[in-house]
Amino acid sequence: MQTKAYKHPVRFVILVFLAVSAAACGGGGDPPDAGASDVSAAPAAVAGNGLTAVELEQGIGPIRDLDLGDVDGSLAAAGGEIFAVKCSACHKLGERYVGPDLSTVTGQRTPEYIMNMILGPEEMVARHPEAKKLFAEFNYTPMANQQLTEEDARAVLEYLRQVGAENPGAQN
Amino acid sequence: MTNSRFRLVMLVAAAVFAGAFTYACQSSSGPAAGAGDAASDVYVAPGDYDEFYAFMSGGFSGNVTVHGLPSGRLIKTIAVFSQYPENSWGYSEETKNMLNTSFGMIPWDDAHHPQLSQTDGIPDGRWLFINGNNTPRVARIDLSKFETEEILEIPNSAGNHASPFITPNSEYVIASTRFSVPIPQADVPISTFKENFSGTLSFIRADRPGEMDIAFQIHVPGFDYDIAHSGRQVSDGWAFFTTYNTEQEHTLLEVNASQADKDFVAAVNWRRAETCVAEEAGRLVPGQYVHNVMGEDRIGRSELRNSVRMIEPADCSDMIYFLPTPKSPHGVDVDPTGEYIVAGGKLATTIPVHSFSKMIDAIANERFETVINGIPVLEYEAVLAGEVQEPGLGPLHTEFDANGNAYTSMFISSEIVKWKLGTWEVLDRQEAYYSTGHLMIPGGDSSEPFGKYVVALNKITKDRYLPTGPELAHSAQLIDISGDNMRLLLDFPTMGEPHYAQGLPAELVTANQVQMFDLTENSNPHATLQESDARIERAGNTVHVYMTTIRSHFAPDNIEGVMVGDTVLFHVTNLEQDWDVPHGFAVIGARNSELLVMPGETRTLRWVPQRVGVFPFYCTDFCSALHQEMQGYVRVSPRGSNPTISFGTGD
């Protein structure tokens, strides 16, 4: 017949022992993972959730320390168009829908948090305590990653700032 | 087991363990555990990718299946010539035109020979072409999307078997009629075969996406034309077709078409033919055929064409020659250098190999045995490079590695024979299970074989898998060709009957993958680009439902105002913009299929409600934890009741 390897029990024994011994060698040649996921090595980590204070405040993602001026009307208009196509199937302004009402979100979250949530909802929902809380509250409906660029997300932020300014009563 | 035997086994095991442990800890870059055994050679760990894509023809399924090698895992079915309810290919309003022919919509075909596009004679990963054998057609599949984008019917053809073999820069895919027929078709007695029947060889423009067309046809004698391959390197500019039934019989061919000692390989100088076409040789002959293209808006459209340029060999000298070839040859395969043309004489006792350079000399010296219909027949000895003696029984198809070796399938003796180009000596044999047809080495019919494996595409399965009633999956086998001797590694099942296959390194395809369609570039006229635009419009007896999907709801999901007998068109746009998030749409009583809508795409399902009532629709593709909540209702009122249209979601 054609194959021989598995007819021989000793071969199988070798395979098992090789697997065991490889595990036993324990990191012999692998470089340590330098990624930021090593919680204990991150001095600024906050106990319990593994996030830094900055991550808690500004969300997890590429956006940090925005310097915002007054609302830019034309940028907000562009953001409104993007919002209509990519966000409005789940978010309405002024009412809870599939996702939270966003008419007051700029009063509740930092601008960096909002943009990071748009750009990387998967990681935010997996790791950030506030996002996790909302994920559960909204029946674990995943927030879709709609592939906005940072530029798009910035425009949507501006739109939400404009909407928020029109809802001053809701601002914190 | 006795105690002493047990102790012995344990002792051996301990020694092996110690040795293995030492070995494993010493070497981090050496061979993997169990290297050299078949299981580890085909093992692709969970989460890892296969090294090669293999594209298998789906045979009488009409489609293409995609497997990874070396694992043999089936990773995709690409719908081509057959309606495919899984993704609504041929059922949705946007795709059903793709199956149009001059006979009307034909929802099935018999797909035999995939061919990858090539640049400089090397597979480039852009497109895959495949033939429809029964209703002569050739399809072009885009490998950035794994989707059929273009299908061209071939007029004046019957049994599009020798197709679609590609030229080295994808200038043409070539085709021929397997069955000779009256050309143009005519009401004649079958017994007048010799007077009234003939064949065609077709050259189809292939390197301009969306513009496939019959560049020209060559009118050839009434034989059967079986398989083809293009020349390459030194023979670039030529194409080769096998013939059988040069006896020109029309009944009981298994006896009557096996009389002659030799049939022919037809050698066509297609650059010469191009010159004749440029000089307007030949004539436009009537012949209806349909061209179907998937547009930028992802909607398939059909165009009927009515004539084709046909060249008579007598009107274009130096264009075509016959090379005598024993006996009822099947495959014709050209080695990577282009010098050797290997014919699989399926009833021959040798594998004849023609020499391209000797053929050119024989033409120059007019070493002609005779002339048939203006086609010179060269002398066998004048074109023969050599013969592989006693290769086995029933040689069919040959593939090549990069080291000057050829691998030929032996259908009758059920084996693969490895032999040396130039010396013609048999180097190795590998039994196949059972009765191999085509072989496939990645790049093995190109200028640069990627090698490593040969896949045997077997015709008979018998006992290779758990029995599944009368019909069995066809068996493919993976064989390691990296060493001097072939080594059988793996059996894996295939869909339909895989005839030929193509393979190439995965990175040539993965680099260009489309993950979704940009919603902002969706130009389907029935697209709904934001949920607030979802709506219903009635136009006479047609009701257009402009619907959107996102995890996990439809808008609208409550629909009223439809009557029995209306034609309801659900235009479903998937608003998702992430990879791997299609949504499905299915409605009770739909007499076609579901829809499967890719992110950013619009697809349309036609539904004619037959009964009064309230009927559900739902998402078929599990999309989130709330997938089971992704549903809706459509209310169907009696014919003539003129109900008010209303719709909404979450109201």
Q: Are B270 and B228 in contact (CB under 8 A)?
A: no
Please say if the pLDDT value at position B417 is more than 90: yes
pLDDT of residue B527: 98
Give the contacts of B634 (CB within 8 A, at least 6 positions apart).
B559, B560, B562, B568, B587, B609, B614, B615, B616, B617
| Tally of domains in chain A | 1
pLDDT digits (tens, 9 = 90+) for A20-67: 344 444 333 343 343 334 444 444 555 468 999 999 999 999 999 999
pLDDT of residue B129: 98
pLDDT of residue B123: 98
| C-alpha angle B577-B581-B584 in degrees, rounded to nearest 5 | 115
* Residue type at B94 in one-letter notation: E
Please say if the pLDDT value at position B410 is more than 90: yes
| Residue A93: C-alpha distances to residues A121, B353, B609 (Å) | 19, 76, 37
pLDDT digits (tens, 9 = 90+) for B350-371: 999 999 999 999 999 999 999 9
pLDDT of residue B66: 98
Cβ separation A3–B28 shorter than 8 A: no
pLDDT of residue A48: 67
pLDDT of residue B346: 82
Average pLDDT (B162-190) is 97
Band the pLDDT of B19: cuts 50, 70, 90: very low
Average pLDDT (B177-195) is 97
Q: How far apart are the CA of A46 and the nearest CA of chain B, in angstroms? A: 30
Average pLDDT (B591-596) is 97
Please say if the pLDDT value at position B4 is more than 70: no
Cβ separation B12–A10 shorter than 8 A: yes
Q: How far apart are the CA of A152 and the nearest CA of chain B, in angstroms? A: 13
CA distance B435 to B456: 9
Average pLDDT (B485-512) is 96
* Residue type at B512 in one-letter notation: N
**Dihedral angle, C-alpha B228, B232, B236, B238, nearest 10 °:** -20
Q: Which residues of B touch A153 (CB under 8 A)?
A: none
| Residue B228: C-alpha distances to residues B204, B445, B497 (Å) | 14, 11, 19
Total residues found in chain A within this entry? 172
The CATH number for B52-510, chosen from 2.130.10.10, 3.40.1160.10, 1.10.3860.10, 1.10.10.10, is 2.130.10.10
Q: How far apart are the CA of A123 and the nearest CA of chain B, in angstroms? A: 14
Q: Which residues of A touch B28 (CB under 8 A)?
A: 28-29
A100 found inside a domain: yes
Range of lowest pLDDT (A10-24, B466-480, B616-630) = A10-24
Band the pLDDT of B625: cuts 50, 70, 90: confident
Mean per-residue pLDDT over chain B, rounded: 94
With b for 16 or more beta-carbon neighbours within 10 A and e for fewer, the B307-324 pattern comes to ebbbbbbeebeebbbbbb
Residue A130: which CATH number? Answer: 1.10.760.10
pLDDT of residue B259: 87
CA distance A85 to B16: 64
Band the pLDDT of B554: cuts 50, 70, 90: very high
Query: Which of A107, A109, A100, A102 shows the shortest CA–CA distance to A56?
Result: A109
**Dihedral angle, C-alpha B335, B337, B340, B345, nearest 10 °:** 10
pLDDT of residue A46: 53
3-class state of residue B174 by DSSP:
strand
3-class state of residue B312 by DSSP:
coil
Please say if the pLDDT value at position B225 is more than 50: yes
Could you say which of B12, B20, B532 has the minimum Cβ distance to residue A88? B532
Could you say which of A18, A85, A90 has the minimum Cβ distance to residue B20? A18
pLDDT digits (tens, 9 = 90+) for B388-398: 999 999 999 99
| Residue B616: CB atoms within 10 Å | 12
Could you say which of A13, A15, A19 has the minimum Cβ distance to residue B13? A13
Q: Which residues of A touch B625 (CB under 8 A)?
A: 139-142
Cβ separation B25–A25 shorter than 8 A: yes
Is the omega angle on the peptide bond into residue B433 within 30 degrees of 0, that is, cis?
no
Full residue range of the structural domain in which residue A59 is found: 44-170
Q: Are B257 and B224 in contact (CB under 8 A)?
A: yes
Band the pLDDT of A167: cuts 50, 70, 90: confident
Max Cα distance, chain A (Å): 82
Query: Which of B88, B121, B390 shows the shortest CA–CA distance to B229?
Result: B121
Q: Which helix (H) or strand (E) holds B57?
A: strand B52-57
Please say if the pLDDT value at position B266 is more than 90: yes
| Residue B113: CB atoms within 10 Å | 26
3-class state of residue B60 by DSSP:
coil
Cβ separation B530–A89 shorter than 8 A: yes
Please say if the pLDDT value at position B290 is more than 90: yes
A26 found inside a domain: no
Q: Which residues of A touch B21 (CB under 8 A)?
A: 17, 21, 24
Cβ separation B28–A90 shorter than 8 A: no
Pairing mode, if any, of strands B631-637 and B558-563? parallel
Predicted complex ipTM: 0.77
Q: Which helix (H) or strand (E) holds A18?
A: helix A9-25
| Residue A55: C-alpha distances to residues A44, A59, A61, A149, B99 (Å) | 10, 5, 8, 20, 54
Helix A9-25 vs helix B3-26: angle between axes, to the nearest 10 degrees? 40
pTM score, whole prediction: 0.88
Average pLDDT (B421-441) is 97
Q: Are B132 and B139 in contact (CB under 8 A)?
A: yes
Pairing mode, if any, of strands B329-334 and B224-230? unpaired
A1 found inside a domain: no
Q: How far apart are the CA of B1 and the nearest CA of chain A, in angstroms? A: 15
Token reading at B258: 């096996």
Band the pLDDT of B348: cuts 50, 70, 90: confident
Residue of A nearest to B527 (CA): A85
Q: What are phi and psi of B234, to 5 degrees?
A: -65, -25
CA distance A131 to A111: 15
A96 found inside a domain: yes
Band the pLDDT of B349: cuts 50, 70, 90: confident
Beta strands in B94-212 (DSSP E): 100-101, 104-105, 115-119, 122-132, 137-142, 147-153, 165-166, 172-176, 181-182, 197-205
pLDDT digits (tens, 9 = 90+) for B134-171: 999 999 999 999 999 999 999 999 999 999 999 999 99
Range of lowest pLDDT (A104-108, B20-24, B582-586, B621-625) = B20-24
Considering only residues B189 and B650, tell me which one the structure prediction assigns the higher pLDDT: B189
Cβ separation A146–B24 shorter than 8 A: no
A35 found inside a domain: no
A29 found inside a domain: no
Instruction: End-to-end CA distance of chain B: give it in Å, rounded.
Output: 75
Which 8-state DSSP code applies to residue B500? -
| Residue B103: CB atoms within 10 Å | 10
Token reading at B101: 């022919």
pLDDT digits (tens, 9 = 90+) for A80-136: 999 999 999 999 999 999 999 999 999 999 999 999 999 999 999 999 999 999 999
A125 found inside a domain: yes
pLDDT of residue A1: 36
| Residue B164: CB atoms within 10 Å | 29
A19 found inside a domain: no
CA distance B586 to B630: 11
pLDDT of residue B45: 97
pLDDT of residue A99: 94
pLDDT digits (tens, 9 = 90+) for A141-166: 889 999 999 999 999 999 999 999 98
The CATH number for B519-648, chosen from 3.40.50.150, 2.60.40.420, 3.30.365.10, 3.30.930.10, is 2.60.40.420
CA distance B133 to B550: 41
Cβ separation A5–B516 shorter than 8 A: no
CA distance B549 to A70: 36
Token reading at B648: 């909404």
CA distance B456 to B647: 56
Could you say which of B20, B555, B577 has the minimum Cβ distance to residue A14? B20
Cβ separation B34–A139 shorter than 8 A: no
Please say if the pLDDT value at position B25 is more than 90: no
pLDDT digits (tens, 9 = 90+) for B99-145: 999 999 999 999 999 999 999 999 999 999 999 999 999 999 999 99
